[in-house]
Structure 1
């Protein structure tokens, strides 16, 4: 089967898995991109040290990574659904009807990284560099992160509007207008700038990683704190 046939079958038969695979590929692409940028730093050092053997090796690895990045992006594009489902739920209201909520509460002091699988988990807070911000939903974390980064460099954030790598293939994630091709745009508090919030937890995670990379902020400097983990419940009910 061709890549097109495989992606079409997955989208038609298991659309939720198409979304899961797309998010995993996005994360892999971000990690490969970070690796390539780190190699760039090592290239400069190798050149300074006149280590031309290492210089050649690093250049070859960087070039090969670019090839794989392109292949991953091509397959990821094939998996994008023709109809984007609504993913935003009123999480606090949803929790009210869950059985034994306290059973799924977790230690909110434990730090997690952005490489964590956030599906079926609920946020308590996040920390970017030295600032810790309390949030109730992943969408709120996304908006607060955009607001913080926008205040650091508005021009860079605005550049995301026309940056294909920072947007979905069929939906804009950032806009200067609420009339853009967005499902659930929300205006940030400190500017006439809109963010797509119809994204699930892992999609938001990937978006935050991409933004941090563009702002030159280490991904390790962004911490997540959870208040609940419903993975066990959803696995039990087959969700």
Structure 2
């Protein structure tokens, strides 16, 4: 009989990016469960002080159920730790979700004598979102709130966005040191002590941010930091200079390595829609009044795309249907100076109509 460990083992071997993402998401979920357990504790104290035995017992059962859920999640993380395939020292960074034993720079040096890196250059003017997979991909700049910043690598991008946010009065990085949202099982992403080659100091503070992370873990951390500062992650765009993914798959001989491309037909429709709309957002496309009305209307959206929900909603409370099922992507898109949520209900038969609409929209982009 197949058990969950068999699934974890398969993903770790055949879908390492997905396995790492599960690990990272599990860390995040654990921190939220800890917050919930702490909140329930405070409510139990209140119930006890009011001699409300029924409420106290109910909250206690909720806490126990969360702890049970927490144990199930830890099974995955414990499995990942106990089944590490190498003999590295058990440094804190070893178990950071998405951490790679060889840094991206070290990976490049392994190939520098026999690889023509120019073959792996990509369009550096194309914007990407923080939700994409960045394993083996080199960043050259990012755009935040309409301003572009050149960076040397992912670590530089992390430090630079922290140095930008530290100037905002909304929140301080000191408050993130003790935040459970920024604590992993082995390390804290923010601290007050320097750890050689592991973290870096944020300008004008005594706070250090953990930098010994994989590219995907850094992208996820940037997104979490933006949310903590009440900023919109959708206003952050990544620009790449190279994609070395082909170097890490297949035969190691250079003559047999070919860049991997993905056509629209091979790309899942949901990701395709999101990517196209993020590109349109980055170009600061301005919809006409009639275009917006059509996209906000379920009947017009059905005519244009063949979908059963309006393309846009500008009301966050409407991203769920009457049964509580989410029908729109939670991450908003900014157009015409306002945030809109795009429906997530897409199927392959919608692709042709969406592409035709998007092609027409692109003709109007200056």
TM-score, normalisation: structure 1: 0.67
Residue among 119, 123, 126 paired with 2:135 = 119
The 5 A counterparts of 1:153-232 are 153=169, 155-178=171-194, 184-232=198-246
Unmatched runs of 5 consecutive residues or more in structure 2:
33-65, 83-89, 95-100, 253-366
Residue among 91, 103, 126 paired with 1:88 = 103
1:99 maps onto 2:115 in alignment: yes
CA displacement at 1:151 relative to structure 2 = 1.7
CA displacement at 1:204 relative to structure 2 = 0.5
* RMSD of aligned residue pairs (Cα, Å): 3.7
User: CA distance change for structure 1 residues 125 and 91 in 2, over 3 Å: closer, same or farther?
Assistant: farther
2:134 is paired with a residue whose SS is coil
CA displacement at 1:178 relative to structure 2 = 1.2
Unmatched runs of 5 consecutive residues or more in structure 1:
34-66
TM-score, normalisation: structure 2: 0.45
CA displacement at 1:81 relative to structure 2 = 3.2
- Residues 77, 169 of structure 1: 8 Å contact kept: no
1:116 is paired with a residue whose SS is coil
Count residues with an aligned counterpart.
196
1:236 is paired with a residue whose SS is coil
- Residues 122, 137 of structure 1: 8 Å contact kept: yes
Of Structure 1 and Structure 2, which has the larger fraction of its residues in helix? 1
1:131 maps onto 2:147 in alignment: yes
Which residue is 2:359 aligned to? Answer: none
CA displacement at 1:188 relative to structure 2 = 2.5
CA displacement at 1:87 relative to structure 2 = 4.8
User: CA distance change for structure 1 residues 18 and 177 in 2, over 3 Å: closer, same or farther?
Assistant: same
Higher RCO structure, 1 or 2 (CA under 8 Å, sep 6+): 1
Which residue is 1:140 aligned to? Answer: 156
Which residue is 1:74 aligned to? Answer: 73
- Residues 150, 157 of structure 1: 8 Å contact kept: yes
Larger Rg belongs to: 2
CA displacement at 1:124 relative to structure 2 = 0.8
- Residues 171, 229 of structure 2: 8 Å contact kept: no
- Residues 125, 226 of structure 1: 8 Å contact kept: yes
- Residues 12, 19 of structure 2: 8 Å contact kept: no
Counterpart Cα distance in 1 of 2:161 and 2:102: 20
